[in-house]
Amino acid sequence: MLGQFDVEHTFTVELKSKKDVKNISISNDTHDRVLFEGNLGELKELSLVEGDVLEFIGKNGVLRITLTIEHLKKVLKQASKVKPQRPGETL
């Protein structure tokens, strides 16, 4: 559902140590898949910096995503309208 917004979101993952990196893979096939997985650890702080960067500060590192407060409000408003699915319930 987020795909309906024509907004590009950049991201940066910065970890304090490579031991907190769970997996990095870059595919050589035609789809050029790139996967980065890590563990930010316990969330210490969540803030909006420079007006359009959502910053998650964890015990092990920082994740930054370009996201305006207006877009975040729009997505949260839309998500609040979705009926939560119960375990075992089909769509």
3-state secondary structure of 47: strand
Asked if pLDDT for residue 57 goes beyond 90, the answer is yes
Averaged confidence pLDDT in the chain: 81
Q: What is the pTM of this model?
A: 0.67
User: Residue 81's pLDDT band (boundaries 50, 70, 90)?
Assistant: confident
Asked if pLDDT for residue 31 goes beyond 80, the answer is no
Indicate the length of the chain as a whole number. Answer: 91
Q: Quick one: average pLDDT of 1-29?
A: 75
Q: Quick one: average pLDDT of 55-64?
A: 92
Asked if pLDDT for residue 68 goes beyond 50, the answer is yes
Q: Alpha carbon of 43 to those of 62, 63, 79: distances in Å? A: 9, 11, 22
Residues 41 and 16 sit within 8 Å (Cβ to Cβ): no
